[in-house]
Structures are given as structure tokens and as C-alpha cells.
């Protein structure tokens, strides 16, 4: 299982880990894409194609823009 926290929205959930899963896959499973959020794995910013290990914590940080 992967613990996913969406910062700023108070959402925390666990998703099932799948072999070969990437950061992009995790973002999609919680309703984001790579243009609307970034991810941190165990406290460090992760690349979109980075593979996720079972048991990690992923923090999703929604991107806010304005003008």
C-alpha cells in the first residue's frame, strides 16, 4: 500500500501499490495530472516518471496559479 496525502485539502488515503507504478500513476489515481500537482516522496520532490516502491508516503501538492 502507498499512503497518499493531498496537502492543503486535508485528504489522506491509501492506494494499492502495483509493480512498475510511477509518480504519474499515483497522481492520476487521486485525481490529478502532472500539470495540476507535484509529488514528494518521503519529503523530497519526485520526478514524473520515477517509480514508486511499496510502503512509501507520497505527498501531493496541488499547483496554484493566478494573476
| Domain contains 13 | yes
CATH number, domain at 58? 3.10.20.30
| Domain contains 42 | yes
What is the pLDDT at residue 43?
A: 87
- DSSP per residue, 7-51: TTTTEEEEE---TT-BHHHHHHHTT--TTTEEEEETTEE--TTPB
Domain containing 26: what range?
A: 2-62
What is the pLDDT at residue 67?
A: 65
Express each pLDDT in 7-47 by its tens digit.
878 889 899 999 999 999 999 999 998 899 999 998 899 99
| Residue 27 burial by Cβ neighbours in a 10 Å radius (0-12, 13-18, 19+) | buried
What is the pLDDT at residue 11?
A: 84
| Domain contains 19 | yes
Please state the domain count of the chain.
1
What is the pLDDT at residue 19?
A: 92
CA distance 35 to 14: 22
| Domain contains 51 | yes
N- to C-terminal Cα distance for the chain? 39
| Domain contains 37 | yes
Q: What's the predicted TM-score (pTM) here?
A: 0.85
| Domain contains 67 | no
Amino acid at each position: 500500500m502507498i499512503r497518499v496525502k493531498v496537502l492543503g485539502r486535508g485528504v489522506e488515503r491509501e492506494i494499492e501499490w502495483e509493480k512498475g507504478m510511477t509518480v504519474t500513476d499515483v497522481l492520476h489515481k487521486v485525481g490529478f495530472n502532472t500539470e495540476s500537482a507535484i509529488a514528494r516522496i518521503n519529503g523530497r520532490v519526485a520526478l514524473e516518471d520515477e517509480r514508486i516502491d511499496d510502503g512509501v508516503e507520497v505527498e501531493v501538492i496541488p499547483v496554484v496559479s493566478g494573476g
